Structure 1
Amino acid sequence: MAIITEEEDVTKTIDPPGSKESSMKNPKRQSQNPFPFWFYFTIISSLATLLLLSLSQNDPRSWFLSLPPSLRQHYSDGRTIKVQLNPDESPLEVFAAESGPIQSENVVIVHGLGLSSYAFREVTQSLGSKGIHGVAIDLPGNGFSDKSMVVVGGGDREIGFLGRVKEVYGLIQEKGVFWAFDQMVETGDLPYEEIMKIQNSKRRSLKAIELGSEETAKVLGQVIDTLGLSPVHLVLHDSALGLAANWVSENPQSVRSITLVDPSLNPALPLWVLHIPVIREVLLGFSFGFKKLVSLRCSKEMTLSQVEAHRILLKGRNGREALLGSLKKLNHSFDIAHWGNSDAVNGIPMQVIWSKQVSDVWIQEGQRVAKALPKAKFVTHSGSRWPQESKSGELTDYIADFVSAFPRSIRRVSEEPIPEKVQKILDEANAGGDHDHVHAGYRDAYGLGDGWTT
């Protein structure tokens, strides 16, 4: 017997593939594109690396340890000298590289903007081998000398959001969390002016050193006096003439002779490009860009390692800001004819060493300088506007021959004043006529005793 059963009709509803219910019933794992993650990760890592590098550049110890061996060797061979530009400011450290016997003729080399004593290392060493004491200094803002100074008290200077957060945090650490609240309860107002006064009085910042003719005169005078070099044979390269001319005019008795190496009011290195935001990062951040700039205007004979050393010194420790600040203070209205024929400078022997290989325009400029200084000896060299690297031997020979043509300099030695106690003993001895007592008293006063008598 057949059994007939009734089945309920099951109606299957087929949802469209793109509907919301279909996607909920049949969830599928969507594949994610990893490209955005790695893209942003790379950008953030690069920015963090650049930030750390920039901070390490401002750290003197980290910067020094990152120097190539040639620069570290140059620094170890030199010395630092303290100079005081202003009485109310901390003294600055000026780097000087020396070579040759100290008791011989002293040649002081002053570099132009964009260079340092490192550029003249071979010249000073060659002068030393010829029996001449060569001294090349780094003007403040250049090379291994100080390039910035600490300024206390920022006034109304804007320091940005992060700077203010740091100052507020320091104020809370010093005064306590509830200091401002207590002041507000007592006075009924937030002590905003007092907070700003405390902030401004303790604010410390680094300011780039801007070197003009006045500052250069102070540096030269103090370095020469500290090392006991006067009188000196002065060598001024490139834009150093505009920086050091005032000191020469004010101290002609301290100058035995002057040698000008391709002097110009416009530095050979086109510093104006360092004002342009993107270009300056490329030029100072990469060796090939800076070498292209140097070969265009300064020297085509320099090797990549030489150019790299100059780039590192120029960029490190905020050197760009100091260099541009000094460029602004450079006296572009300086008249070389008026200076050279002035009463103070007219009697100083002078020679001009000029490049004959740069361009016809530069040769014409040399002819103009020769006419402006008719009493100066004029010679030419076969190098570029930075001849001290590729033509150091030729440049040294010109300087050494010129210096050796003069009689030996008479060194001015400043005698130390005799202490009052010693002077009293000497006066008493002279009055009594006892010469033996004079010598004994002088030795005893300095603790030498009778054991030093002969």
Structure 2
Amino acid sequence: MAIITEERDSSSSSAKRPTKKPRLKPPSKAPKSSKAPKSSNPNPFTFWFYLTISVSLVTLIFVTISSLSTEHDPKTWFLTLPTNLRNHYSNGRIIKVQATRHSDSIEVFTIQDGPTDSSHNVLIVHGLGCSSYIFSNLVKSLAKKGVHAVALDLPGSGFSDKFETVTEEKPIGGFGRLVEMYNEIKEKGVFWGFDQLVEKGYVNYDYEENEIRMSKVEHLNPIELGPEEMGRVLRQVIDTMGLKPVDLVLHDSAFGLGANWVSKNLGFVSSVTLLDSTSNQTAFPLWILKWPVIREVVLGFNFVFQKVIQTCCLKSGGGSDSESYRLLLKGRNGRKSVVGMGKKMNSSFDIAEWGGLEGVKDLPMQVVWSGGWSEEWAEQGRQVSGVLPQATFVTHSGGRWPQEDTTEDLAESIHEFVSKIPKPIKVTEKKERIRERIQEILDEAIANVHHHGFSGHDHGHGHGHGLGHEVGYPSGYGLGHEYS
């Protein structure tokens, strides 16, 4: 039996089946494939380079715009203020003082309320970063209690002057000398310059009397008070407003700036109240005002500024008044003065040593401290009170800056304290004694005239009339200083 195989069929079917051509691999492109990873993975440093350049340009533009703003113009700045700040300004008074002996006068803004003939005159001095506006309610509350209360804006803060014009003499050199030479030739004529060149080979500009040429340059400097300048300002404000002897209320960093003046002018001070005041600390963090971008953001946006003062100064963040605090601090670039004054604070000031000075240790003192701010801050208040044995210690529930809801408590503490101090001699009583003394001198003079027998003549009456007119000029009797 024969076996039939189908090899032929399989071969034929395989012949009919389409044969798959082997896929040809693409030609090797080794050079191109080796460059591909570099183009698909860019250098990460390129991104950070462009990001740094962009941030730097934006910062530069932002700082330039802020520096070129019209905040330096007092009128323009004032017209942009809200109504409450305008009312605060309208209720105030401007006093001109000299921070140094040879400087020009600067304007200091003050507010006052209460009877001017009160037995006690309270002068409130704010710390760095705030102004008299924060004490406006306290001044009114003290006035209702019969106290003559005054608060001032330190130079560089609030509505007081923040910049002063300084004139400096600088030697002319380089391009400036060429300009001077051109102006001289322009004044004396071209032929004068030509004659100088022909005779001497150069223009005789550097003759002996012009060897050192000086030019006057005026520029604005931020007002930066140190302890000495602070004392001069306080003295002039007290003299101008007739506050002597004054009950000083030193808030925050004002203690470090004014303590030295108090020890040297005890005759001007009746008592001292330290209101959350230390010698070398500020409630408002001054470092924020130093760094670019950070200071622009904090002073440029109210919600950021409100968070800052809520963290450092006020429990409630200031509410609607935070915008007023920000505008007064930012206005006319006042931050420069605040930063400069912060640098001049005496960091080595010793409260215990100051409290033990002759005269200071007998001065009535009170320490009013925030007991609810933090335990560390309350402990620091007890330490300040402990090194001042003559000081009474009182706590309040507000923040390190006075708040509206604690104004009455603060006013009551200050009023109760100053009321226990013996009343000073009233100025009116002093003037009455001066008038009585003048009248005695006048009577003696008239008696002498009658004694010499001149009373029966008109000439004698004329002298008597002249003496009567001299009563208005007490300096003729050596009483001018005391009378004034």
**Residues 220-248 of structure 1 deviation map (CA, whole Å, 9 limit, x = unaligned):** 11111111111111101111100110111
**Residues 98-125 of structure 1 deviation map (CA, whole Å, 9 limit, x = unaligned):** 0000010100001111111111000111
* Distance in 1 (alpha carbons) for counterparts of 2:275 and 2:397: 12
* CA drift at 1:440: 3.8
Identify the match of residue 291 of structure 2 among 249, 265, 276.
276
- The worse-fitting range, judged by mean Cα deviation, of 235-244 and 189-198 is 189-198
Identify the match of residue 140 of structure 1 among 151, 155, 161.
155
Q: Who is 2:420 aligned against?
A: 405
Question: Which structure's CA Rg is the greater one?
Answer: 2
Identify the match of residue 73 of structure 2 among 59, 63, 72.
59
**Residues 373-392 of structure 1 deviation map (CA, whole Å, 9 limit, x = unaligned):** 12211011001111244411
Q: Who is 1:441 aligned against?
A: 466
Q: Who is 1:201 aligned against?
A: 215
- Normalised by the size of structure 2, how large is the TM-score? 0.72
* CA drift at 1:60: 1.1
* CA drift at 1:77: 0.7
* Distance in 2 (alpha carbons) for counterparts of 1:206 and 1:120: 29
Q: Secondary structure at the match of 1:234?
A: strand
Residues 1:152 and 1:371: Cα distance change in structure 2 (over 3 Å): same
* Distance in 2 (alpha carbons) for counterparts of 1:300 and 1:228: 36
* CA drift at 1:343: 1.3
Q: Who is 1:214 aligned against?
A: 228
**Residues 108-150 of structure 1 deviation map (CA, whole Å, 9 limit, x = unaligned):** 0011111111110001111111110000011111111111110
Q: Secondary structure at the match of 2:424?
A: coil
Identify the match of residue 102 of structure 2 among 79, 88, 100.
88
* Distance in 1 (alpha carbons) for counterparts of 2:379 and 2:172: 47
* CA drift at 1:407: 2.9
* CA drift at 1:89: 1.7
Q: How does 1:296-307 map to 2 (within 5 A)?
A: 296-307=311-322
Paired letter, 1:84: Q
* Distance in 1 (alpha carbons) for counterparts of 2:126 and 2:461: 54
* CA drift at 1:179: 7.1
Q: Tell me whether 1:75 sits opposite 2:60 in the alignment.
A: no
* CA drift at 1:189: 5.0
Q: Who is 1:392 aligned against?
A: 407
* Distance in 2 (alpha carbons) for counterparts of 1:180 and 1:279: 56
* CA drift at 1:301: 1.8
Check whether the contact 1:81–1:95 (CA below 8 A) recurs between aligned residues: yes
Check whether the contact 1:180–1:191 (CA below 8 A) recurs between aligned residues: no
Identity of aligned pairs, percent? 43
Q: Who is 1:245 aligned against?
A: 259
**Residues 185-232 of structure 1 deviation map (CA, whole Å, 9 limit, x = unaligned):** 43625959999977x633110011111110011011111111111111
Check whether the contact 1:101–1:133 (CA below 8 A) recurs between aligned residues: yes
Residues 1:256 and 1:178: Cα distance change in structure 2 (over 3 Å): closer
* Distance in 1 (alpha carbons) for counterparts of 2:243 and 2:193: 63
* Distance in 2 (alpha carbons) for counterparts of 1:173 and 1:117: 53
Check whether the contact 1:98–1:135 (CA below 8 A) recurs between aligned residues: yes
* CA drift at 1:80: 1.1
Count the aligned residue pairs.
Answer: 393
Check whether the contact 1:141–1:323 (CA below 8 A) recurs between aligned residues: yes
Residues 1:174 and 1:344: Cα distance change in structure 2 (over 3 Å): farther
Paired letter, 2:261: W
* Distance in 2 (alpha carbons) for counterparts of 1:249 and 1:219: 15
Check whether the contact 1:108–1:234 (CA below 8 A) recurs between aligned residues: yes
Check whether the contact 1:235–1:261 (CA below 8 A) recurs between aligned residues: yes
* Distance in 1 (alpha carbons) for counterparts of 2:149 and 2:178: 52
Q: Who is 1:367 aligned against?
A: 382
Paired letter, 1:231: P
- Normalised by the size of structure 1, how large is the TM-score? 0.76
Q: Secondary structure at the match of 1:387?
A: coil
Identify the match of residue 229 of structure 1 among 243, 256, 281.
243
Q: How does 1:10-159 map to 2 (within 5 A)?
A: 51=65, 54-104=68-118, 105-153=120-168, 155=170
Paired letter, 1:57: E
Q: Secondary structure at the match of 1:281?
A: helix
Paired letter, 2:126: H
Q: Who is 1:451 aligned against?
A: none
- The worse-fitting range, judged by mean Cα deviation, of 136-145 and 173-182 is 173-182
Residues 1:324 and 1:192: Cα distance change in structure 2 (over 3 Å): farther
* CA drift at 1:372: 0.8
Q: Secondary structure at the match of 2:94?
A: strand
Check whether the contact 1:183–1:191 (CA below 8 A) recurs between aligned residues: no
Paired letter, 1:108: L
Q: Who is 1:27 aligned against?
A: none
Residues 1:240 and 1:177: Cα distance change in structure 2 (over 3 Å): same
* Distance in 2 (alpha carbons) for counterparts of 1:443 and 1:173: 68
Q: Tell me whether 1:340 sits opposite 2:376 in the alignment.
A: no
RMSD of the TM alignment (CA)? Answer: 3.9
Paired letter, 1:314: L
Q: Secondary structure at the match of 1:95?
A: strand
**Residues 52-88 of structure 1 deviation map (CA, whole Å, 9 limit, x = unaligned):** 9844211111111111111111111111111122332
